[in-house]
Chains A and B, each alone.
Chain A
């Protein structure tokens, strides 16, 4: 199944990966200032084939195969962005954001606050584990990014949201980090509106209604939560955060108040992750509505191991989610 096939104009089912390509392609067609920069994205079509066919359609000046230099990719993107282009950079793996971290947090994130200079750029970050990628190809680095004021961070879980959020990210005048979970590329497929489709940055979505327990999740954990809830037949509400900065605090508090029992789930490691932030917000603003302590289902504070039994022991599994829901429900 090729990701480079022409996408239909009408609503149709698309994989998560196809939706990302679709968003990028639509925006590049509509706006000449949108360009792509990254390693192996041009002639090769990208390590995951997101930009397959792009260089043929848009040319080498808009689909740029960069040297192996993450700071250069991001730094040059900053320069291009302040000069009116809309670069969409790709880090080949989210893990490599560490190699471009200086330009991201010290230059891109702070320019507007310091000088009123807007930096409209997107950094696409293929994240997540579950396929023996090992410690350097499996990370979920969003917590690093959330500690750099000036960056927006989004993490879609569905194909429709992937397209909608990438489109919004490209149109946003700020640097936006777009976390695309690799495990969802081909395994998630849903209805995606054709043509122009945006999802606002900063808005969560209730993807399953319930009244006894809430799961607040993003990315791969949303699917884990939905599957567990279905298997258990439980009265479980699932809130897909979709955006991590800005966070939809209203939606978080609404579901916490509704059920009084909250599980925050993410594949990223535990300490000081998004779960910690959400739990603190709930405990501060919805204390009187809590019927149980806020729990988190995350990876432990461990580099992601390579060997399958070790990796599965570290990444949250379906059974872990079911157990957590059970515990919370019977508390």
Chain B
């Protein structure tokens, strides 16, 4: 059955278990809201800076898709690893990156995560266990597969998580990653962000078969969830991560959503059909979640407001810090092509309560 991004009536995720009560406590839920809001606020600030001419090159954001990166990244433990893409800023924040470093990177400042070496979302804090993306999509799916290969080779109960858009699923390297992961039952979770458009190319020109169905042909499950429901994303990710950790192999999670801004700030989105944006604006993931927290999880309006206001304030302070960061020294432009030493990737933050008091251990199996 040919599906687009969920503009058609949304269907329940096949093979997804119902959410268990007590998995997410009050603080966890607050955190989910906060990280989504942080992503929104940081990207809005970035867009403003871009329009003010302070950002060279291009500007990309994941407006409307915040639930996907936040919900999925939230499941990971400190020793898990990520390959994060350009609409997944929330994942960086969950792992511990602060908005000032993100904004400084966009502005090409010394204090940015790459020190000016690479721009926009092509960053990953190696100290937090993230390998940053390249422009060629979906190359990072293979790198994540490789990390999973290392975990399996060493018998570690660790997971690699990687993101890509539905357009990437047309690319040979995506298929190579899926195939290799499936053949070797590697502990990698593939997050497919199906937002309806690959730049201007709609799904019907991108593939003939819904990509989530391809997972089966590579030997592992594919599930589909509402990408604007942060807890649905969380649940599906949790199941996938647990399966991987227990040696069950990979999972493909399709998160259906809508890209609310252009491919980049330079894109006026004139190709989007009438009314689609308005439809999806009603399903803004942050607004929806804020309402749900109040309606179903014992939050007060005030609490929710405070969270959002504090985040905005925090992002403003971060922006100041980023603006104060100097431009990089041109004399350093040719340095660092080669490494003199190998340094392993560091561990990321794991704010989910499940990981508190575990001192960063993932309960590694059979490994010293």
Contacts and interface: CB of A to CB of B under 8 A. Distances in A.
Q: Do the two shown chains form a genuine complex with each other?
A: yes
Interface of A: 35, 61-62, 64, 66-67, 69, 71-72, 74-85, 87, 102-103, 106-107, 110-120, 149-150, 152, 173-174
Given A115-B131, A118-B339, 8 more contacts: A66-B180, A71-B142, A78-B146, A82-B147, A83-B147, A107-B134, A113-B336, A114-B132
A193 to B, nearest CB: 26
A103 B153 contact: no
Tier of interface size on chain B: 35 or more
A269 B18 CA distance: 63
Contacts of B345: 82-83, 117
B176 A69 contact: yes
B341 A84 contact: no
A84 B344 contact: yes
A107 B336 contact: no
B180 A83 contact: no
Contacts of A117: 124, 126, 131, 345
B143 A152 contact: no
Interface of B: 81, 113-114, 117-118, 122-124, 126, 131-132, 134-136, 139-154, 160, 172-173, 176-177, 179-180, 183, 336-345
Contacts of A119: 339
Contacts of B336: 112-113, 116
A99 B219 CA distance: 24
A83 B100 CA distance: 27
Given A72-B180, A79-B146, A114 B114 contact: yes
B126 A71 contact: no
Given A83-B81, A106-B139, A67 B176 contact: yes
Contacts of B122: 114
B132 A67 contact: no
B339 A80 contact: no
15 contacts: A75-B145, A75-B173, A75-B177, A79-B160, A80-B153, A82-B147, A83-B146, A87-B146, A107-B136, A107-B139, A112-B336, A112-B338, A115-B118, A115-B123, A150-B337
B173 A82 contact: no
Contacts of A77: 146
Contacts of B177: 72, 75-76
B176 A72 contact: yes
A113 B337 contact: yes
A79 B147 contact: yes
A146 to B, nearest CB: 13
Nearest to B115: A116
Contact of B337 (A35, A61, A112): A112
B131 A82 contact: yes
Contacts of A80: 146-147, 149-150, 153
3 tightest Cβ-Cβ pairs between the two chains A and B? A79-B146, A75-B142, A76-B146
A103 B150 CA distance: 18
Nearest to A102: B136
A85 B343 CA distance: 12
Q: Which of A72, A76, A149, A174 counts the most B-chain CB atoms under 10 A from its CB?
A: A76
A120 B343 CA distance: 10
A61 B143 contact: no
A110 B145 contact: no
A179 to B, nearest CB: 18
B367 to A, nearest CB: 12
Contacts of B343: 116, 118
Contacts of B118: 114-115
A82 B117 CA distance: 19
Contacts of B142: 71-72, 74-76, 78-79, 103
Contacts of B145: 72, 75-76, 79
B342 A79 contact: no
A85 B144 CA distance: 14
A71 B142 CA distance: 8
A83 B151 contact: yes
Q: Which of B152, B173, B342 counts the most A-chain CB atoms under 10 A from its CB?
A: B342
B176 to A, nearest CB: 4
Contacts of A85: 150, 153-154
A69 B142 CA distance: 11
A172 B27 CA distance: 45
Contact of B146 (A61, A62, A75, A113): A75
